Structure 1
Amino acid sequence: MTDLPGGDAPDEDAPLLPERRVRRRRGATAPTAPGPVPPTDPTTAAFQAHVRSARSELENQVAHARAEFDQANERIKERTGRDLIVAIGIGLAIGATVVVSLIFWKWIFVVFALGAAVLGVFEFGRALQGSGRRVDLVPQVVLGSVLVVSAWFLQMWLLWVVVFAAVAVTVVWRLVAQMVARDGRRYGDVLDDALVAGFLQLYVPFMAALCVVLLRQERGEFWVLAFLIVVVAADTGAYATGLMIGRHPMAPRISPKKTWEGFAGAAAASLIAGVLLAWLLLQLPVWTGLILGIIILGTATVGDLGESMIKRDLGIKDMSSWLPGHGGVLDRLDSILLSAPAALALYYLLTPLVTR
């Protein structure tokens, strides 16, 4: 045993301090002084600096692009009254649902059409009530649902019977309800209420029912898809062209934001879509696509302007706010509803020309 500095030998019988016992038991060694830090490789340091610079530049570019996009979106929203991003997202979701249902499960599209018709009747009825009209929502919704479902199961002549019954029942219901109310309402207002009751059934459920009738036909799902695509193409062409170069109002007293330049864009888009669909989807001669595009363009434009005139008469901007970026359900159906009977007529007219 070696002596410790100072000449005294360690006492092996002396108790160890707690930390010394732990070290001895665990085999711990005394901490050593840290060695010198190896110098950083100049190549590694330069690479890390380059990565940090590139990341910072990318973040700045993304932030700048985001700011420019937000500013452009705000300008579009200010001009059109729509949130472009939300509108595109909802439009794509609805479009995907419609396409999948038409291609794989027709009955799902019937459910989709039924839901759209019910919501359209409800929000139109509420808008009419807000303007002072007396509308009986429960019979309107119930009879409208019966009308749409009947189009899937009944022959066309029986569907006309259901249409007549739905209109008659809603009109009589309104007259009886007015007789029970006895609130001194003027004769002219009561007559207007009755006419509105019948118009509501013809405008929304009946047009939706004709779309279901078209769906029932042989290859009808492709015809429904075709006329919907032409309507969307016309709407998109009008929106984009009017936004970029629109200067001359088309119908300023009805819809101030619609321009002749936008209509020209809608015409070009619908004609191109009609030709491509006739050739690739409907198995028709190419020239029939021009007829399809022109007819659907006309009905879609009249339907859009017609609903705009109704909203202006009611003193509202949108039928509802159920679809952010779009307004109400009826605001998206206005061009489609009037195009459904035109598409059905074109089916009967052009189907004999199928080339293969």
Structure 2
Amino acid sequence: MADGRNDEASTATDRIRRTARTARGEVEGRIHEVEERIHDIEARAREMDARIEKRVGRNLPKALFFGLVLGFALLFSLIFVTELFMLFGAALVVFTSYELASALRFAGRDVPRIPVVIASVGVIAPAYYFGAAGLWWAFLAGAAFVTVWRLVEQLRPSLRNDPAVSLSTDLAAGIFVLAYVALLGGFAVVMTAAEGGEWWTLAYLIIVICIDIGAYVSGLSFGKTPMAPKISPKKTWEGFAGAVAVALLAGVLLAIFMLGEAWWVGLVLAGAMIVTATVGDLTESLLKRDLGIKDISTWLPGHGGFLDRLDSILPSTIAAYLVFLAFGGS
């Protein structure tokens, strides 16, 4: 009897073990299937990212993340404490002027980066506290500062007889950086400091962002006809059409619900932004092509450099300021 009970217990134990091994095998099989599916999804995602990056030249997830970070910082500085916009603007000016000066130095222009950065930052406070007049005087003072610095550098014996040194070209490049980054960007500071101007600054930035997004989505979905193949092969007329449609809609909505202006004022603002943003984008592409580089820098993952993100915004600033003076600056 004892032996029979032992046999039954042993048989039951064996069944339990077999059942456990079968269950464990099934679980491991399911886990293996899940892992394979995850790997397959990851591979497809990487393949999709690679296709998108090849087509638009950007790592989309990184671009979105850093774009959102910059966007929230900008919103906070404009909506809650406008004085913080000076700090935000100063930080952008520092990085952008430094990277553009560095790119020009890479191309053989001996641009003095330290004085260019100092002069660029120097326009922010005068623009905020003294308006357009303060911005212009600060820009002229900065240009003089950069010129004197470069002339003093020329006194070095190592440069005095160097035939490769072109003083006029170097000075022109330095002042170009100051004008392109600090002077144009300074008008956003002037506008923000004016009564109600922070909403106009936010409006024109939103429209320019909508132009970029509209061109990106429409170009990615329908783009076939290159706009300027020798300058920027990825830009298409289909993308431009999408940018125009989105910008005009955004302009009308912003004019009515945020600026408190007539709907046609939004069309005027959006129309100006479409022209200046497109010209700015193509101009920066032409500049990079002339310098022989893909991105001005690699400081912003997924974006390239700061100028790669501000290429549409900087030229649009002065146009937005003029529209603000015409309709919102009273």
Aligned partners of 1:118 and 1:145 also within 8 Å: yes
* 1:295 counterpart letter in structure 2: A
What residue in structure 1 maps to residue 178 of structure 2?
Answer: 201
Matches within 5 A, 1:288-307: 288-307=265-284
Matches within 5 A, 1:69-88: 69-88=45-64
CA separation of 1:61/1:292 partners in 2, compared to 1, >3 Å: closer, same or farther? farther
What residue in structure 1 maps to residue 20 of structure 2?
Answer: none
Instruction: Name the CA distance, whole Å, in 1 between partners of 2:28 and 2:264.
Output: 59
Instruction: Name the CA distance, whole Å, in 2 between partners of 1:94 and 1:184.
Output: 43
CA displacement, residues 204-241 of structure 1 (integer Å, 9 cap, x when unaligned): 01112111000011111111110110010000111111
CA displacement, residues 20-54 of structure 1 (integer Å, 9 cap, x when unaligned): xxxxxxxxxxxxx9xx99xx9xxxxxxxxxx9999
Instruction: Name the CA distance, whole Å, in 2 between partners of 1:91 and 1:158.
Output: 31
Is residue 255 of structure 1 aligned with residue 206 of structure 2? no
Is residue 184 of structure 1 aligned with residue 134 of structure 2? no
Aligned partners of 1:102 and 1:109 also within 8 Å: yes
Instruction: Name the CA distance, whole Å, in 1 between partners of 2:255 and 2:31.
Output: 50
Q: Displacement of 1:304 after TM fit?
A: 0.8
2:233 alignment partner, SS class: strand
What residue in structure 2 maps to residue 322 of structure 1?
Answer: 299
What residue in structure 2 maps to residue 229 of structure 1?
Answer: 206
Aligned partners of 1:299 and 1:342 also within 8 Å: yes
1:276 alignment partner, SS class: helix
CA separation of 1:306/1:61 partners in 2, compared to 1, >3 Å: closer, same or farther? same
Q: Displacement of 1:253 after TM fit?
A: 1.3
- Bigger mean CA deviation after superposition, 169-178 or 257-266: 169-178
2:206 alignment partner, SS class: helix
Larger CA Rg, structure 1 vs 2: 1
Instruction: Name the CA distance, whole Å, in 2 between partners of 1:84 and 1:152.
Output: 35
**TM-score, length basis structure 1:** 0.80
Instruction: Name the CA distance, whole Å, in 2 between partners of 1:59 and 1:307.
Output: 45
* 1:122 counterpart letter in structure 2: Y
Give ranges in structure 2 of 5+ residues lacking alignment: 1-8, 17-26
Aligned residues: 311
Matches within 5 A, 1:128-143: 128-143=104-119
Aligned partners of 2:298 and 2:304 also within 8 Å: yes
Instruction: Name the CA distance, whole Å, in 1 between partners of 2:319 and 2:30.
Output: 57
Instruction: Name the CA distance, whole Å, in 1 between partners of 2:319 and 2:258.
Output: 18
What residue in structure 2 maps to residue 152 of structure 1?
Answer: 128
Matches within 5 A, 1:1-356: 64-180=40-156, 181-185=159-163, 189-351=166-328
Aligned partners of 1:148 and 1:206 also within 8 Å: no
Aligned partners of 1:168 and 1:198 also within 8 Å: no
CA displacement, residues 96-115 of structure 1 (integer Å, 9 cap, x when unaligned): 11112211111222111100
* 2:162 counterpart letter in structure 1: G
Larger helix proportion of the pair: 2
Instruction: Name the CA distance, whole Å, in 2 between partners of 1:338 and 1:303.
Output: 6
Q: Displacement of 1:322 after TM fit?
A: 0.3
* 1:191 counterpart letter in structure 2: S
- Bigger mean CA deviation after superposition, 124-133 or 175-184: 175-184
Aligned partners of 2:123 and 2:182 also within 8 Å: yes
CA separation of 1:282/1:56 partners in 2, compared to 1, >3 Å: closer, same or farther? farther
1:82 alignment partner, SS class: coil
* 2:59 counterpart letter in structure 1: D
Aligned partners of 1:241 and 1:265 also within 8 Å: yes
Q: Displacement of 1:64 after TM fit?
A: 4.8
Instruction: Name the CA distance, whole Å, in 2 between partners of 1:52 and 1:267.
Output: 54
- Bigger mean CA deviation after superposition, 174-183 or 145-154: 174-183
What is the RMSD of the two structures over their aligned residues, measured on CA atoms?
Answer: 2.7
Q: Displacement of 1:156 after TM fit?
A: 2.7
CA displacement, residues 153-188 of structure 1 (integer Å, 9 cap, x when unaligned): 22432332222121122123323422433033368x
Aligned partners of 1:214 and 1:224 also within 8 Å: yes
* 1:281 counterpart letter in structure 2: M
CA separation of 1:271/1:56 partners in 2, compared to 1, >3 Å: closer, same or farther? farther
* 1:335 counterpart letter in structure 2: S
**TM-score, length basis structure 2:** 0.86
* 1:102 counterpart letter in structure 2: L
CA separation of 1:102/1:352 partners in 2, compared to 1, >3 Å: closer, same or farther? closer
* 1:143 counterpart letter in structure 2: A
Instruction: Name the CA distance, whole Å, in 1 between partners of 2:265 and 2:238.
Output: 25
Q: Displacement of 1:80 after TM fit?
A: 1.9
Give ranges in structure 1 of 5+ residues lacking alignment: 1-32, 41-50
